[in-house]
Amino acid sequence: MAERAGARAEAERLMAAFRTAGAVPVEADILQPAEVLLDLYGEDIRARAYVTNDPLRGEMMLRPDFTVPVVQMHMSDGAEPARYCYMGEVFRKQEHLTFRKSEYFQVGYEVFDRADPVAADAEVFALIADLIAPLNLRAVTGDLAILTAAVRGLKTLESRKAALLRHIWRPRRFTQLLDRFGGRTPVPETRARLLASLAAGQPPGSAPPVGLRSEAEIAARLKALQEDAAAAPIAAEEVARLEDILNFAAKSPAALTRLRESARDMPAIAPAVGRMAARLDALAAKGIDIDNLDFEASHGRTTLEYYDGFVFSFHAADPDLPPVASGGRYDALTTVLGQGRSIPAVGGVIRPGIVADLKGEA
């Protein structure tokens, strides 16, 4: 009970600061509809969601976070611009016995503002950094927009780029696809046999269709496989440049210099790199020491799949602890949930229970 009381007290302190910053407190139901929302989270959270069936409402889940329901609420009837804050418990199953909790408090701050997205990025990061500054945490930043732009700039089939973009949050699968599209690994044996039979003019079989795909969808998929097999591999130089970005990490000023150099050979990333430069200026104006701010190009690839731009997290010295705070930009999520409307949006969350624990250790 004392532990929960400490987390709640810290949550109230953070909420007060977010309200002072102009955020309107909102709430979200503990039970959320699962069918739509599960597709918006990353594999990790989907696998750890508590899902149940409601006789009246269908498949439901205990909320794994607040951002998605807050976006739904805003896109339904929210005014612009808007700032929201919230606090409450979130729920994520743990597959193994661990000290990590399956139920914990989360406090968050979300900004919906199309006037100056770069300034909004800096606002969210700087506000959270200031609130947890006494803990001396390590901040890490990244930018998924740079990675997705690099993929979209590849000189290859659109279907290949779509596959890479779909799996950019699954590093192992992404690497497997890049190796295959770059000609470094062979086509899987089952696919090779299928392609060979198609090349010989043999239909894949006369059995009735099984599964949810229609005959037209199956035919389109087979055509796409044939086009992929006939296409040249992605050039080794392009693959190497993309891998260099994926594996790159440095302090932010050095990272910006390196990415500007990369943009000479990969012009598709230039606009995203320009936004990164503007964001660093905005962060510096907020008092952030950008000279010592870490940048990792692949940061955020194993977390929430709705992030599509600037991402960040704050870490304690103990590597076994989850991030104390994290967040990022999720413009595309507002499009998905906005039924044709969209607005630039960014937010971040803090785990007040960990903050309280770290303060107690100080």
DSSP H or E stretch at residue 124? helix 117-131
Residue recorded with tokens 């770290």: 358
Instruction: Classify 90 as helix, strand or coil.
Output: strand
Per-residue pLDDT averaged across 304-325, rounded? 92
Backbone angles phi, psi at 304, to 5 degrees: -80, 130
pTM of the predicted structure, to 2 decimals: 0.88
- The predicted-structure confidence for 131-181, as pLDDT tens digits, reads as follows 999 999 999 999 999 999 999 999 999 999 999 999 998 899 999 999 999
Q: What is the pLDDT of residue 106?
A: 94
Q: What is the pLDDT of residue 362?
A: 58
Pick the range with the lowest mean pLDDT from 58-72, 103-117, 345-359.
58-72
What residues does each domain of the chain span? 1-137+342-362, 184-232
Q: How confident is the model at residue 54 (pLDDT cuts 50, 70, 90)?
A: confident
Per-residue pLDDT averaged across 306-328, rounded? 94
Domain 1-137+342-362: CATH superfamily, name plus number: Bira Bifunctional Protein; Domain 2 (3.30.930.10)
Q: How confident is the model at residue 109 (pLDDT cuts 50, 70, 90)?
A: very high
Distance CA 65, CA 36 (A): 14
How is residue 28 written in tokens? 């979200």
Task: Answer for the pair 160, 168: CB distance below 8 angstroms, yes or no.
Answer: no
Mean pLDDT of the chain: 87
In this model, does residue 46 exceed pLDDT 70? Answer: no
